[in-house]
Structure 1
Amino acid sequence: MHTRRHDIDWLRTLAFGLLILYHVGMYYVYEWDFHLKSDDQYIWLQDVMIMSNQWRMSLLFFISAMALALVRQRYSGWRLAGLRTRRLMIPLLFGMAVIVPPQLYVELIYGIGYEGSYSAFMREYFNLDTSLAPHKQSAIGLLTWNHLWFLPYLWLYSLFALLASTWLSLVAKWLNKLPATLLMVVLVSVMAGIWFALRNDYPSTHALIGDWYNHGKYLLAFVAGYLLASMPAIWEKVIRHRRWFVAFSVVGYSLIVLDRHGYLALDEATYQLWYVRYFIGILLALNLWGWILMLVGYAGRYLRSGSTLLSYFNRAILPYYIFHQTLIILLAVALMPLKLHAGIEALLIIVLTCVGCALGYEVIKRIPIVSGLFGLSFWPRRKPTKNAAECKHQPLTDSVAK
């Protein structure tokens, strides 16, 4: 019998919430490239953001795969493939056409001094032969998915897992009998190997095609999450030994920060030694898996109960994700003239982004067709009135008489 794992629901909600904080931080962090940058930028913010920078998206793929594996126990692969396609690809295409363009428009205004109207920009945005902003173009011109890149990657990995679900189930049964320590060694070694082999030659692009380092890292996280959901004995060990993962996380993060500040600096000749680079990959992999498994462990220990709030976010999380980055950028532009202190401004952006996402969700979930463009049902069901609910359990003649 299938039992819903509320800890995975909570973890998914918290992980998407972290995206709002992270993307607001991108507006203020020193040097790191973003669509719009504040005049107030802080170097110290890099150390704060690097804490989640290494693992936050891998965590999303990991828990998305766990959720998929749990749902796979109740639905056929074909039905899930159809649901995933509808819930991910339709919002992606709609988002690229409607939600994402304001981000690029603002970026061009503040980046290259673009002076055209929004309607003029949109004509260029959909013109595959446009000459506007060549540095922002790809094979499809200015069309872009920006923060929505997660959706096509998740769709692709989901189809892979569903096609290979029988094989993955067999692998999970076999792995579930192995020592947890050995599985951790394998996870760390493989992730380190991906970093060693692909990181330098294939820098992150989020372009789907040719983004081999990201595919290696995120697909491994996805497969690991899918397998863990089918390995109850190992999952319980992750929960039981969660404090060990805290240690991995703290040590990994500390070493990364020390290295960023030059305390672990290596000369170029030493860095090029293969075993030195692979050892660095091991440290990064320990940090990544330490954070992911620590969060899974603590969620499994303390977040096993559902709530009305969690039910709300289970429905609302995808529209929140679609809305959030465009809202952040538009709010930052709107607050610029006020010259607020960065701390006050950032807090306002966070609060107003959450309010905007909530209002957006409340509006779109009530509108047929539009709701489906955000990954919800195309035909929202209206809640029955009190009288209708009472009539539901009464004979037809009684309800007609009323």
Structure 2
Amino acid sequence: MTQAYVVHESRLVSEEVDTFSLGRETTNAQLTQRYFELDALRVIAFGVLILYHIGMFYVLDRGWHIKSDEQFSLLQDVMILTNQWRMSLLFLISAMVFTVVLYRGYEKYPSRCLFSLSILGKRTLRILVPLLFGMFVIVAPQVFVEWTASGKLQMPFIDFYLAYINPNTDLFKEKQSIIRLLTWNHLWFLPYLFVYSVLILLLFPLIRWVGVVKSTLLDSLPLFSIIVVTLMTYIWLELRTAYPTTHDLVSDWYSHAKYFWVMLVGMVIVLRPALYTAVMRARYISLTFAITLYSVIILDRHDMLGATGELMESSFSFRVLVGVIVVLNHWAWLAAILGFGQKYLSKPSKVISYLNRGVLPYYMVHQTLIVVAAFYLSSRVSSTLAEFLGITLITLVGCAITFEIAKRFLVLRFLFGLKLKGAQKSE
């Protein structure tokens, strides 16, 4: 392989999951530096997610768990902008990190089978345990608030909670799933990431081959982009309508195809240093494509491009064109964000390092804080601006307090997916 990968001697030495502190050796194997840009992009992506969910409380004609009486149509354009890449970016970064961890383990671990089992065990502890804790404890208040605000539920929280965790409950049978009232709501990213990680573990011997091939064609960003957009367009055309997004894991085939493909793309990028560099160098081109195509999408949403709806129904060629526009917009944003991140965020930052350690607790509690804060403030604050600022402040402070408390107690570290060994020293 033209460039070896190692993990920095800090947090990823033990293959910690979701800790984006990576090492990258130069070709002379003398200087190791960390992928600080992935730390920063991860923090930014989760920050955007928090603001997105606050925006969902105020955006017009977009269903959510709880809605403000004061809603704004212009927010729809902003939501469409971030919808194109916010979750894909998280899957992309996760894949890039996971690839480095796996590559190092395959090269240095005595038994690849034992290494895979070790990684699977760590992923279970760092993903599934927080997921179960979140479903049983963190998500419950937002479900209670949602149904109370809609007038469907009129009982104390403790009575609701006992029904919520009861596998034999008769409450809201029409809303029950195979696990009854239990739900993961915004935590759907965790089970999806776990399943994709298992698939990548199985496929990694084949995926690793991509980094060994010496053909320069694999490092051509135009060719790589054509491959990415072509397959994603096929996914968009074939699965988007047949399998609309549900986040139920079992039948969410469009989301699975989209996000798993994004993860494979991230793996190839990190296995091909020249390709990663090409993404950085083409950042302005990617940004130009992203802004231009996003503008086209917004113009169409405001009915400024004619009868596109009728053409979508009658013309397959037009559907393909629309698919290419949507998918290329999606890829262009990812490439631009990754490129600018590599160029300008590849330096250490104490703030980013701190926030990067806390993103999982932030992610786990942020939506419940938003929903509860919005429900409480909506009837007590007359100003929409004051309400928005209050929700934002309560959410950010609540996330910060949660992380600060969680990292100080071993049991909470375990439940929130934080590193257990050397906890006080590393913090």
- Pairwise same-fold verdict (TM > 0.5): yes
1:64 aligns with 2:94: yes
Residue 339 of structure 1 deviates from its aligned partner by: 2.7
Question: Partner of 1:372 in structure 2?
Answer: 414
Identity %: 42
Pair 1:77-2:107 in alignment: no
Partners of 2:313 and 2:201 in 1: how far apart?
A: 40
Contact preservation (8 Å) 2:103, 2:208 = no
Matching residue of 1:94: 133
Are 2:61 and 1:19 equivalent residues in the alignment?
no
What code does the residue aligned with 2:176 have? Q
SS in 2 for 1:226: helix
Aligned to 2:227: 186
Aligned to 1:156: 195
Whether 2:88 is the aligned partner of 1:47: answer no
Q: Residue in 2 aligned with 1:241?
A: 282
Indicate the residue corresponding to 1:339 in structure 2: 381
Q: Write the letter of the residue equivalent to 1:246.
A: L
Q: Deviations over 1:335-355 (max 9, x none)?
A: 122233222321221222111
Match of 2:59 in 1: 29
1:363 aligns with 2:393: no
Matched, 1:125 2:164: yes
2:322 pairs, out of 275, 280, 284, with: 280
SS in 2 for 1:38: coil
Q: Quick one: structure 1 residues 218 and 256, their matched pair in 2 at CA, closer, same or farther if it must change by over 3 Å?
A: same
Within-5 A mapping of 1:198-209:
198-209=239-250
| Residue correspondences, number | 384
Relative to the length of structure 2, the TM-score reads: 0.86
For normalisation by structure 1, the TM-score amounts to 0.92
**Per-residue deviation, 1:312:** 1.0
Would the aligned equivalents of 2:407 and 2:423 in 1 still touch at CA under 8 Å?
no
Match of 1:299 in 2: 341
- Check conservation: 1:370, 1:378, Cα contact below 8 A: no
The alignment partner of 2:38 has SS state of: helix
Gaps of 5+ in 2: 7-22, 24-33, 106-114
Could you tell me which amino acid in structure 2 is paired with residue 119 of structure 1? I
Q: Which moved more, 1:370-379 or 1:325-334?
A: 370-379
Question: Alpha-carbon deviation of 1:140?
Answer: 1.4
Change beyond 3 A, Cα 1:269–1:181? closer
Q: 1:300 to 1:383 in 2, by over 3 A?
A: closer
Q: Describe the shift of the 1:272–1:154 C-alpha distance in structure 2 as closer, same or farther (beyond 3 A).
A: farther
Counterpart contact for 1:77–1:162, Cα < 8 Å: yes
Q: For the structure 1 residues 98 and 290, does the alpha-carbon distance in structure 2 shift closer, same or farther, using more than 3 Å as the test?
A: same
Larger Rg, first or second structure (1 or 2): 1
Change (3 A) 1:103 1:275: same
CA apart distance, 1:135: 4.1
What is the one-letter code of the residue matched to 1:231? Answer: R
Distance in 2, matches of 1:341 and 1:226, equals 47
2:181 is the counterpart of 1:142 = yes
Unaligned runs of 5+ in 1: 385-402
Partner of 1:232: 273
Residue 134 of structure 1: how far off its partner (Å):
3.5
Whether the 8 Å contact between 2:149 and 2:375 is mirrored in structure 1 is no
Q: Which residue of 1 aligns with 2:144?
A: 105
- Pair 1:37–1:380, CA change in 2 (3 A): farther
